[in-house]
Amino acid sequence: ADGTLVGALDGVSCEAEDYLLHALNRYKDGTRGGNVMTAFAATLSDADMKTIAKFYASQDGVKTLK
């Protein structure tokens, strides 16, 4: 593994950190669901979610408009 982001995760790389953190929290509390992310987010601590959001927000690619 070379650290390259591929597949389903391409869509989350470069999103704003606050957006990603908000989305993860909504998956965890069940207000945003319907896929595997709900089960995944349920296992994350607040610190985990902050780390994940920071990592994906820092990746190169197309940025969303704020």
Asked if pLDDT for residue 65 goes beyond 60, the answer is no
Q: What is the pLDDT of residue 59?
A: 80
Q: What is the pLDDT of residue 15?
A: 83
Half-sphere exposure of 62 (CA within 13 A, CB side): 5
Question: How does pLDDT run across 23-35, given as a tens digit for each residue?
Answer: 999 999 999 977 7
Q: What is the pLDDT of residue 5?
A: 46
Overall average pLDDT of the 2-21 stretch? 68
- What is the maximum span of the chain, computed from C-alpha positions, in angstroms? 34
Instruction: Determine which helix (DSSP H) or strand (DSSP E) holds 18, and give its type and residue range.
Output: helix 17-29
The conformational region for residue 16 under phi > 0 = left, psi -120 to 50 = alpha, else beta, is: beta
Question: How does pLDDT run across 34-57, given as a tens digit for each residue?
Answer: 778 899 999 999 999 999 999 888
